Amino acid sequence: MPLRLATLAAVLMLAGSAYAADKIKVGFVSTLSGPGAGLGVDIRDGFNLALKQQGGKLGDLPAEIIIADDQQNPDVAKQIADKFLKKDKVDFMTGIVFSNIMLAAGPAVFENKTFYISANAGPSQYAGEQCNPYFFNVAWQNDNLHEAVGKYVQDKGFKNVVIVTPNYPGGKDAVAGFKRYYKGKVAEEIYTKLGQLDYAAELAQVRSYKPDALFFFLPGGMGINFVKQFVAAGLSRDTQLFAPGFSADEDVIKAVGAPMMGIFNSSHWAHDMDNAENKRFVAEFQKEYGRLPSLYASQGYDAALMMDAAVRDVKGKVEDKAALQKALEAKRFKSVRGDFKFNTNHYPVQNYYLRVVGKDAQGRITNKTMGTIFTNHADAYVGYCKMK
Amino acid sequence: MTQLILEQALNGLQFGLMLFLLAAGLTLVFGIMDCINLAHGSLYMVGAYFVAAAAQAADSFWIGLAVGVAGAAVLGLLLEVALFRRLYRRDHLSQVLATFALILIANEAVRAIWGPAAIMLNPPEALAGPVAFPLFGEEFFYPAYRLVIIAVGLAVATLLYLLVAKSRVGMWVRAGAANREMTEALGVNVRALFTAVFVFGAALCALAGGLLGPLLAVQVGMGESVLILAFVVIIIGGIGSIRGALVGSLIVGTVDTLGRALLPTLLRATLPADAAATLGSALASILIYLLMAGILFFKPQGLFPARA
Amino acid sequence: MAFYRPARWQRPLALGLFAALVALPFVLEAFDQSFYIGFATRLLIFALAASSLNLVLGYGGMVSLGHAAFFGIGAYVAAICQQAGINEALFAFPAAMAVAGLFALAVGAVSLRTRGVYFIMITLAFAQMVYYLFISARAWGGDDGLPLAGRMTLAGFSLAGDRPLFFASLTALTVAMLLFGRLAQARFGRTLQAIRENETRMEALGYPVFRYRLVAFALGGAVAGLAGALLANLTGLASPNLLQWMQSGTLLVMVIIGGVGSLWGGVVGAAVLLGLEEALAGLTEHWHIVLGLLLLGVVLFAPRGVAALFGRRDG
């Protein structure tokens, strides 16, 4: 059977025309276990919701989604990617949450000329010198949300800031992004182990610097524990917390509760954004899963919409890589965050907003959009990208 | 600076006491039964899940803790009777393989029952904030929940000490650790003693897991990292010795916390900032292993060898 | 346990297996299943690593729970060589063996003074030390590991693609198995096995027990280093996860399943474990439970492992 398929494919290729696939296979690899699982689960649920709204189809073709858990482990992700590419022969891949996992799995995907639609990880490497025609990021470049926080902290005149991030590429991007717009004094940059959960020692250090603001980027369970322990240590009285949207979204708010109140954070999307697509997405997500969507869910949702639009554009001929790339670049879907377009490095150019955690009209603790920090903001690496 | 040092010392104490709860059971199983139990960390994980599940069902952390610890004790009993009894007389290799298999089973069973995502527990409402008291004219803050953990840890350590050092059962346990055959010959029901010790160790695991739940995360794989630390503790302290486990726990807890907190700062005084940060974190993470190697070099049986 | 002695039919079986393995990539390619060439390569590499542990554990009787350290160091040395601009495996692989072997020599020199549980624990602790060292070494990627830009070259030929690395791994395993087979029956192997059986007696007979064990321990470490270097080429990443103690446990499990102290123990164990993984993972998400139960079954009912069925034992 596989032999015959191969022969068929060879014959078709000899004929010189890309054939329309009878179904679209998507390899979805994400962090679905451990403290980072909340992020992967939200991306998956957002993706599945979009798929459900399309009747289980992508671009009018039946879609098959193969889901695998990378366990937040680069080796495992690499093995899964190999399996998706060589055994399952998927048409698209998506789902990876963490940049270090992305950097491990990426080369095999690109070498195989398979399109990767990132619904989260946006490492600086793939935005700059290592940019790649097969990589699209439908979310943001890692630095962007941190840049927005940096700009806000700078504008509000904070003078003594401590930064806490995990010691991994995303963390370093965070510090770089924050400092690109914040020019004041940084008392200390504290790098913790990725996945660390007890911050007692670090919080004691923070106290000794007496900062007026603390910027932290700790995705998933790390951020949950950090905020809880920060408030429990009594630090919230003198120090204002700032975070990128990832560390202060619905998943974290739900787990932490009241201590989250008053955290300022930046995002390219918010559940209270006023457009028809977003209202439908938020309402149906709540109906389907019984919780408010996070920005990860919105990114997963957008990733599915993006594939859907592109497959429809090429009329199902996903083998024609050049045409598919053009279709993806054209971005013909309506994003729940409002309009944005892709830059030459396949990263979005979009607005970034300030949000604050507080109680909404129904008494729920949730994010409220306060204003716009950046308009049509691009990333800092696009100049290094040689792709046209 | 006083605030910083005192706070870090308390952090070290808190960490050390929790390690002690794990190491106490492990060192006895090790010492008396000469049995390597790699799955000790899995008992800690399963115990934490029991506590988390019971706390969520009862909507009370303390009821959850009690129910969870009892549940872990029952599980310990079942494991001892069904499996460990068969392993005591086997070689270390079989024990390593069997308990490694238990780790795989426990991790996967927990994943199947509670799902792959971590459970984030909250401490009881009243303990969620800081406690403040005056210190050298300044206000000293410390998280209330961590103080409670320290208090519970100290209470359990005292109880254990009295039990092992002063009671008749404790005497048997010490005798068993020093010389199993002789104790048996003297008419002690070693089999029942083994079971009791194992069950007690399992309950302590669950207590540690439950108490740490709100500070860490209840998740698959949480047992493995802590298991290694417990091993280091009992090797430093001397296998089979409760006193050694206590001293070893406090040493490891303090050295690890202080190293993590102070080394980067100290090194910065002599090295450029970037090198200090790298070297500091590297040194801090291997400090306890260096300590262990150093202690084993001078005292190959640990600080308080149980066997004569 | 008794001395290793190969059964008469082992040689034709091994030759047959070798021939089948040589043909394997071509067969798989013909059926468009090239994914499984990578899988087979992985299997060969783990067979090599497990066999190196079998030398230490099976022949030497040393229950080391830190073998992953040497495996991982090998992977890192390969990646670091490439980072330094040396892309030639003829240099990088021996370098990986040398560094892993020397490190094993140092670890062994300290650990082999202890016995029983203490030996297990101290090897474990040394491995953890290496693990944390690499995790905090930012120059070598820290938590993320050190990626290889591409596969290395071997004597000028690129290892890129499925086939070249498969054959490189097959060659390494074949050479190692020939070496171990010879060693097991040579004076060195005999002495080592005798020490395993009765250390005090061998000591009394005047054998330098410590030195014999140390050499075996270092040799095992060096071969594990080679396996690590091959694996780094396969996955394109030297990852700290290779150094984790669960990895040591997995290697140990392979050896025990396959049969401690029989020449083919490591190979059979790696094949069984990885094969089970591939087969069970397709059936159920929770295949670890099944695997765990199987292992318990092996401990309780078949303590000599699967490969015991293949080797003739006397005594």
Are residue A135 and residue A159 in the same domain, yes or no? no
pLDDT digits (tens, 9 = 90+) for A138-190: 999 988 999 999 999 999 999 999 999 887 777 888 898 999 999 999 988 88
Q: Is the pLDDT of residue A134 over 90?
A: yes
Q: Where are the alpha helices (DSSP H) in chain B?
A: 2-33, 40-58, 61-79, 85-87, 92-114, 144-166, 168-178, 180-185, 190-212, 222-237, 242-268, 273-298
Residue A257 CB partners (closer than 8 Å, separation 6+):
A365, B122
In angstroms, the first-to-last Cα distance of chain C is: 8
Do A297 and A326 lie in one domain? The reply is yes
Nearest residue of C to residue B100 by CA position?
A: C249
Give the chain B residue whose CA is nearest to the CA of A207. Answer: B4
Mean pLDDT of chain C: 87
Give the pLDDT confidence score for residue A2 in this predicted structure.
Answer: 44
Residue C237 corresponds to which tokens in the numbers above? 């990443």
The DSSP H or E segment spanning C209 is helix C209-235
The boundaries of the domain holding residue C300 are 4-25+34-313
CB C226 within 8 A of CB C215: no
With CA atoms as reference, the chain B residue closest to C249 would be: B100
Is A347 domain-assigned? Answer: no
- Contact state of C236 with A6 under an 8 Å Cβ cutoff: no
pLDDT above 60 for A17: no
Q: Which domain holds residue A216?
A: 143-267+352-382
Q: Are residues A292 and A156 in the same domain?
A: no
In this predicted structure, the answer to whether residue A104 has a pLDDT above a threshold of 50 is: yes
Q: Helices marked H in chain A — which ranges?
A: 2-15, 37-53, 74-82, 99-111, 124-127, 142-155, 169-181, 200-209, 221-232, 250-256, 276-289, 295-313, 321-330
Residue A291 backbone dihedrals phi, psi, to 5 degrees: -150, 165
Mean pLDDT for the stretch of residues A274-288:
92
Share of chain A above pLDDT 90, in %: 50
The answer on A133 and A35 residing in a single domain is yes
Q: Is B220 on the interface with A (CB under 8 A)?
A: yes
Residues A133 and A147 in one domain: no
Check whether residue A198 and residue A293 sit in a common domain. Answer: no
| Number of domains chain C is built from | 1
- In this structure, which long-range contacts are made by residues C193-196, counting pairs with CB atoms below 8 Å and at least 24 apart in sequence? C193/C1, C193/C3, C193/C4, C193/C59, C193/C261, C195/C60, C195/C61, C196/C1, C196/C59, C196/C60, C196/C61, C196/C261
Q: What is the pLDDT of residue B55?
A: 93
Taking an 8 Å cut-off on Cβ atoms, the answer to whether B96 and C303 are in contact is no
Q: Are residues A317 and A198 part of one domain?
A: no
pLDDT at A19: 52
Residue A343 falls within a domain, yes or no? no
B244/B23 Cα distance (integer angstroms): 10
Residue A37 near chain B (CB below 8 Å): yes
Residue A345 forms part of a structural domain: no
pTM for the model stands at 0.85
How many domains, in total, are found in chain A?
2
Tokens matching residue A238 = 């003198």
Question: Nearest CA to A193 among A217, A169, A167?
Answer: A167
Query: If we measure between CA atoms, which residue out of B130, B141, B152 comes closest to residue B61?
Result: B152
Interface of A with C in 131-150 (CB under 8 A): none
Q: What residues have CB less than 8 Å from B189, skipping those under 6 apart?
A: none
Indicate the pLDDT class of residue A6, thresholds 50, 70 and 90: very low
Q: Is residue A99 part of a domain?
A: yes
Residue C82 phi, psi (nearest 5): -65, -40
pLDDT score at B286: 83
Q: Examine the pLDDT at C67 and tell me if it is beyond 80.
A: yes
Do C160 and C148 form a contact (C-beta atoms < 8 A)? no
CATH code, C160: 1.10.3470
pLDDT for position C312: 42
The segments of chain B whose pLDDT lies below 50 read 308
Residues C120-140: what's their mean pLDDT? Answer: 86
CATH code (residue A179)? 3.40.50.2300
The reply to whether A357 and A251 lie within a common domain is: yes
Mean pLDDT over C259-275 rounds to 89
A153 and A134 inside one domain = no
pLDDT surpassing 50 at residue A87: yes
Q: Which of C144-158, C196-210, C296-310 comes out lowest in average pLDDT?
A: C296-310
**A116/A16 same-domain check:** yes
From the list B282, B292, B296, which residue is nearest C133 (CB)? Answer: B282
Same domain for A40 and A128: yes
Q: Where are the alpha helices (DSSP H) in B34-143?
A: 40-58, 61-79, 85-87, 92-114
- Does residue A388 belong to any structural domain of this protein? no
pLDDT confidence of residue A388: 60
Same domain, A171 and A98: no
pLDDT band for position A20 (cuts 50, 70, 90)? low
